């Protein structure tokens, strides 16, 4: 082999090495490169992002992590609008690990002078209503008190955020008030009920209220206008909810029935009566929650799960020792199926987290509130409960256990 042949062979070997270590991802059209990255696992994406700046930019794109987030099976459903899907995945991943291990950071908020009866959350703001006639506003990340809203003449039993700055409250004094949270003032007062307003539910601009006067009322919050007054219950209405399409409303009453209403016409579509059990045959419906075609309700110490489409009871739960005060149901769409998650809380001081497909044992039982829990809600990483001992408990599962 002549010298020129050796030179050519060395040149080919060098070229092969260069080609072997060439950044192939940068040579591909961006659309093709992104298609490849979509097949990587979250861990592989993080490893690939360390190759160079270009790979890091591609692997950190929002559309890539949006797909990873949708593919993941998280125990706690997303509740807030997300703009950074990578951080959302990291937060949910850590929260899910902590949830499975039962690892959380409990925090107690003190400030009310009587039993806390209702809660509402909007991004980083938490609102709490109490029998002390006030509404307290808290900063969630820090747990610090922000301000107090005063104006109701009796206890506050319902809270819902309308916008980032507008809060709707329902009171034992028979009124519904709309508050400007930033200014701390009452902007409007809605009159219409002749008894204490026990519960409100708000979707977009439609507000549904239930009262001691046995009525369910539907309001247009934008115009502060009464749309419908729905009659049918024979006793006080303690719980209401609205579906996400604003087509149907649901109400639970002391008459032991649940009614499903058509919001366009104000007519009753159907009445459900939870199967009477010996221990709860004379108990009122204290809480209801609807999502994704399913309805959870409570009476006494029992929780029922219904399919609204078939009007059939799918499951019932009796793990609480005392009356259940709050039920929250969430339908999480995972690939081609719907996974149901449920929170229940009661006078026994427990907050149970359920997977209704396995009703024998709750996934988690949260403790901390020494007295009964009157209501609950959750966001992406926290479970929040209001207590009869005048306090609010926050169980934060977002404490980091692993860095993504």
User: What pLDDT digit, counting tens, does each position of 207-225 carry?
Assistant: 999 999 999 999 999 999 9
Looking up tokens 């009920």 gives 193
What is the rounded distance in angstroms from the CA atom of residue 107 to the CA atom of residue 104? 10
Residue ranges covered by each domain of the chain: 3-60, 101-396
pLDDT score at 2:
55
**What is the average pLDDT score of the chain?**
83
Looking up tokens 């506003």 gives 137
Instruction: Give the global pTM.
Output: 0.78
Confidence of residue 52 (pLDDT cuts 50, 70, 90): confident
Highest mean pLDDT among 213-217, 263-267, 282-286, 291-295: 213-217
Highest mean pLDDT among 208-212, 289-293, 313-317: 208-212
pLDDT score at 340:
82
pLDDT score at 362:
57
> Are the C-beta atoms of residues 214 and 198 closer than 8 Å to each other?
no
Please report, in angstroms and rounded to a whole number, the separation of the first and last CA atoms in the chain: 55
pLDDT tens, position by position, 167-217 = 999 999 999 999 999 999 999 999 999 999 999 999 999 999 999 999 999
pLDDT tens, position by position, 7-27 = 544 554 554 454 455 666 777
pLDDT score at 358:
61
| Domain 3-60: CATH architecture, name and number where available | Up-down Bundle (1.20)
pLDDT score at 248:
96
pLDDT tens, position by position, 339-370 = 788 888 888 888 887 776 665 555 566 765 56
Which helix (H) or strand (E) is 307 found in, with range? strand 302-307
pLDDT reading at 290 higher than 90: yes
pLDDT reading at 5 higher than 70: no
What is the rounded distance in angstroms from the CA atom of residue 149 to the CA atom of residue 307? 39
- Whole-number percent of the chain with pLDDT over 90: 45
pLDDT score at 399:
67
Q: How many Å is the Cα radius of gyration of the chain?
A: 26
pLDDT score at 401:
44
Looking up tokens 């996974």 gives 339
pLDDT score at 403:
44
Give the Cα-Cα-Cα angle 299, 304, 308 (nearest 5 degrees): 120
pLDDT score at 201:
97
pLDDT reading at 43 higher than 90: no
What value does the mean pLDDT take over residues 132-139? Answer: 96
Enter the CATH code of domain 101-396: 2.130.10.10
């Amino acid at each position: 082999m002549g010298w020129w042949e050796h030179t050519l062979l060395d040149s080919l070997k060098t070229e092969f090495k260069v080609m072997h270590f060439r950044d192939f991802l940068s040579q591909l059209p961006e659309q093709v490169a992104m298609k490849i990255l979509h097949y990587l696992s979250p861990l592989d994406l993080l490893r690939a992002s360390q190759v160079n700046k270009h790979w890091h930019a591609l692997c950190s794109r929002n559309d890539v992590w949006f797909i990873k987030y949708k593919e993941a099976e998280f125990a706690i459903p997303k509740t807030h609008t997300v703009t950074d899907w990578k951080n959302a995945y990291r937060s949910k991943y850590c929260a899910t690990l902590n949830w499975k291990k039962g690892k959380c950071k409990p925090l107690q908020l003190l400030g009310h002078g009587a039993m806390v009866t209702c809660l509402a959350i909007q991004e980083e703001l938490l609102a709490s209503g109490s029998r002390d006639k006030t509404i307290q506003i808290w900063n969630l990340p820090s747990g610090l008190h922000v301000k107090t809203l005063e104006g109701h003449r009796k206890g506050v039993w319902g809270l819902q955020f309308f916008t980032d700055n507008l809060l709707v409250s329902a009171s034992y004094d028979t009124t519904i008030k709309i508050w400007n949270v930033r200014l701390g003032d009452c902007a409007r007062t809605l009159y219409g009920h002749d008894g204490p307003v026990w519960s409100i539910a708000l979707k977009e601009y439609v507000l549904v209220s239930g009262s001691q006067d046995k009525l369910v009322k539907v309001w247009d919050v934008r115009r502060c206008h009464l749309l419908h007054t729905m009659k049918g219950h024979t006793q006080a209405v303690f719980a209401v909810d609205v579906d996400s399409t604003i087509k149907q409303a649901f109400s639970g009453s002391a008459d032991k029935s649940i009614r499903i209403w058509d919001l366009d016409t104000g007519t009753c579509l159907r009445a459900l009566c939870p199967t009477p059990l010996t221990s709860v045959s004379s108990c009122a419906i204290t809480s209801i929650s609807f999502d994704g075609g399913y309805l959870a309700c409570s009476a006494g110490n029992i929780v029922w799960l219904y399919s609204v489409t078939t009007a059939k009871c799918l499951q019932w739960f009796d793990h609480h020792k005392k009356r259940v005060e709050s039920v929250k149901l969430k339908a999480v769409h995972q690939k081609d199926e719907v996974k149901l998650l449920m929170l229940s809380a009661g006078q026994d001081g427990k907050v149970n987290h359920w997977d209704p497909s396995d009703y024998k044992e709750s996934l988690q039982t949260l403790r901390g509130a020494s007295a009964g829990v009157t209501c609950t809600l959750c966001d992406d990483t926290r479970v929040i409960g209001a207590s009869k001992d005048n306090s609010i408990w926050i169980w934060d599962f977002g404490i980091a256990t692993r860095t993504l």
